[in-house]
Structure 1
């Protein structure tokens, strides 16, 4: 998911997306620890996606604070 798609979502949707990404990241780390992970690059992708969501959430919070 790219940043443009994230900007169109509400903060609640973004928090839900972040929660899902954190769960996915945990599952991927668990698979890696047990030797079941097929593609180690998925960990990096999940981490970056979570960071992207956090960035958009912070931008929306800053914009809301600036308008108040």
Structure 2
């Protein structure tokens, strides 16, 4: 999936995508360990996609926390 597509997704949608990626990695890892995986690049791609999703979720969480802090500080003035 492209970076732009992932950036446009909401946090709950990214959580669903994260779960799907984790399941795919599990299946690929199982095939890798049982020597049934012919294309190792798919495993690597899935791991990188999961890392990207987790990074975007962290960015969204930090952005939401910063917005909440900004709102809280504005209420104090």
TM-score range, shorter-chain basis?
over 0.9
RMSD: 0.7
Contact 1:25 1:43 in 2 (8 A): yes
Matched positions, count: 68
CA distance in 2, matches of 1:13, 1:59: 14
Provide the residue aligned with 1:49 in structure 2. 49
1:29-68 aligned within 5 A: 29-68=29-68
Offset from partner CA, 1:4-62 (integer Å, 9 cap, x none): 11111111110000000000001001001111101011111000000000011011111
| More contact order relative to length (CA 8 Å, sep ≥ 6) | 1
Provide the residue aligned with 2:27 in structure 1. 27
Unaligned runs of 5+ in 2: 69-77
Instruction: Give me the TM-score of the superposition, normalised by structure 2.
Output: 0.84
Provide the residue aligned with 1:11 in structure 2. 11
Contact 1:3 1:56 in 2 (8 A): no
Moved over 6 A (4+): none
